[in-house]
């Protein structure tokens, strides 16, 4: 698929109880291609009543789905993965069309991760188990794991289908049913994915997808008394609001929130590899990633030669049409995000940061789209561009003297999602691993994502862990069982 094959906007509905429907209000909203500004879809706008219908469908489906043997759920999730893999080129094209990200990234990163996620949790569903616990003689104690119930899931716009897989995979493996609200900017691939959910044989009502806006559909999902848990990925400010609203019904909450990852280059690192990888640590997906390595710390002794390599490489990155496989950086996802990023670039200049490369909107043949040059600033620790999450192709670079200062600078931030250390010294690496306050520490690599490994943050980067077997715990309750075996042994009261 290319932009030329889309002759008119797609018409997309709400997916409830296995069927596509119109919203009860009749309202719709438009979805745009950020690379061209063209309308590519008209989408039914879900509201409170649509959320209620979806929750009712999920509650109705919960009994049979939760009681299905884990092997049965495993088979269906594997089938879903197979169907997505068979159509990965089509879905990658839709993802690039909707998000502005390069086709090469959508195909080999987004689709690859989504397929593997469903396969991992298809296997993980068979590993759900309790444990037996030694207790005083005459009694038998054990625990059971049970699905938590109906789950509301709210996903972001930066990796739409991948983030949906990260949420749906463990929830379905655990036996939960789902009402999912995609970001209003990027609902296309997950709504098309609903067709595969039906084709895979997943029962009606197990997955329901309600596109809409946070203030209406999202709030209704969080407030709903028959939703047992909310899983959210997005900015920290919104995560805090969700926690406040969820407290009214005491529903469980897991949050994967913002980040401002420190990427630390020591003088004994492989500078060529570190420079190249550090560029992609921040410029992948146009910088719109929660793990983006947007705080770069470089040891003073190697600063000049390292920065020469980094800037030179960054200037050669190909910005262009997302639908062309040679493009390395595409358009940012929305006008709102474009304006935010450009405002931070101006803030950096006003604060006195030194602009080393980039900083402009890409013009010429791409002037109608939301393209921003890869941008690098030489900054200081307390500048806003070095403390706040820009969520765009903007890198701030700060010098450091030694290991102790590197630790201090790395931890001097409200976020703690990811980090990286570049060194050939095992002692340095091990010390940094222990002292950095972040959920992930990469050593001599970046953006290595594997579904077997838990993912989540410290501090204001979230609550809970996605991926790995730990992700299943987000969707399971633990029930303790204690049985008197009839041995007539005295209990604790001596009776």
CA–CA dist 70, 75 (Å, integer): 9
Q: Which of 105, 184, 256, 466 is catalytic?
A: 256
Q: Would you give the DSSP letter of residue 140? A: E
> Structure tokens of 227?
């939703």
Query: Based on C-alpha coordinates, what's the Rg of the chain?
Result: 24
CA–CA dist 344, 351 (Å, integer): 10
CA–CA dist 303, 299 (Å, integer): 6
The number of beta carbons lying within 10 Å of the beta carbon of residue 267 is 18
> By CB neighbour count within 10 A (0-12 exposed, 13-18 middle, 19+ buried), where does 31 fall?
buried
> Structure tokens of 118?
């469903």
CA–CA dist 60, 332 (Å, integer): 40
- Is 146 a known active-site residue? no
Q: Are strands 252-256 and 28-32 parallel, antiparallel or unpaired?
A: unpaired
CA–CA dist 428, 266 (Å, integer): 9
Q: Would you give the DSSP letter of residue 100? A: -
Nearest by Cα to 485 from 137, 242, 61: 137
Q: Which of 117, 290, 373, 378 is catalytic?
A: 290
- Is 90 a known active-site residue? no
Catalytic residues: 256, 290
């Amino acid at each position: 698929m290319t932009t030329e094959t889309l002759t008119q906007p797609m018409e997309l509905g709400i997916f409830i109880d296995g069927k596509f429907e119109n919203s009860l209000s009749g309202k719709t909203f438009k979805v745009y291609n950020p690379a061209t500004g063209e309308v590519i879809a008209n989408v039914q706008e879900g509201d409170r009543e649509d959320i209620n219908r979806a929750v009712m469908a999920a509650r109705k489906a919960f009994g049979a789905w939760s009681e299905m043997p884990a092997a049965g759920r495993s088979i269906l999730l594997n089938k879903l993965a197979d169907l997505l893999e068979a159509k990965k080129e089509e879905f990658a094209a839709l993802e690039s069309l909707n998000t502005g990200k390069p086709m090469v990234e959508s195909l080999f990163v987004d689709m690859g991760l989504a397929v593997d996620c469903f396969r991992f949790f298809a296997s993980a569903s068979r590993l759900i188990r309790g444990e037996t616990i030694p207790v005083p003689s005459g009694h038998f104690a054990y625990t059971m794991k049970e699905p938590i119930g109906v789950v509301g899931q709210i996903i972001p716009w930066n990796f739409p289908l991948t983030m949906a897989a990260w949420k749906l995979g463990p929830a379905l493996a655990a036996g939960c049913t789902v009402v999912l609200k995609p970001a209003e900017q990027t609902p296309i691939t997950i709504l098309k994915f609903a067709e595969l959910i039906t084709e895979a044989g997943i029962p009606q009502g197990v997955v329901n997808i309600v596109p809409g806006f946070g203030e209406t559909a999202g709030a209704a999902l969080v407030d709903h008394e028959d939703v047992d848990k909310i899983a959210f990925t997005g900015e920290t400010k919104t995560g805090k609001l969700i926690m406040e609203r969820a407290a009214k019904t005491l529903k469980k909450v897991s949050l994967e929130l913002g980040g401002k990852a420190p990427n630390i280059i020591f003088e004994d690192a492989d500078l060529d590899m570190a420079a190249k990888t550090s560029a992609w640590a921040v410029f992948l997906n146009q910088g719109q990633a929660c793990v983006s390595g947007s705080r770069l710390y470089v040891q003073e002794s190697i600063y000049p030669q390292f920065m020469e390599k980094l800037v030179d490489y960054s200037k050669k990155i190909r910005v262009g049409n997302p639908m062309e496989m040679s493009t390395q950086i595409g358009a940012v996802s929305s006008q709102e995000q474009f304006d935010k990023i450009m405002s931070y670039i101006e803030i950096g200049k006003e604060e006195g940061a030194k602009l080393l490369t980039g900083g402009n909107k890409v013009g010429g043949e791409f002037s109608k789209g939301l393209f921003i040059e890869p941008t690098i600033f030489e900054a200081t620790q307390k500048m806003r561009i070095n403390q706040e999450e820009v969520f765009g192709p903007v890198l701030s670079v700060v010098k450091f003297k030694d290991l102790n200062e590197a630790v201090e600078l790395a931890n001097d931030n409200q976020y703690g999602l990811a980090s990286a250390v570049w060194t050939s010294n095992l002692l340095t690496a091990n010390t940094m691993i222990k002292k950095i306050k972040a959920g992930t520490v990469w050593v001599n690599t970046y953006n290595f994502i594997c579904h077997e490994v838990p993912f989540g943050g410290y501090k204001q980067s979230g609550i809970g862990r996605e991926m790995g077997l730990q992700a299943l715990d987000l969707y399971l309750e633990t029930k303790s069982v204690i049985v008197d075996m009839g041995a007539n042994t005295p209990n604790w009261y001596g009776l």
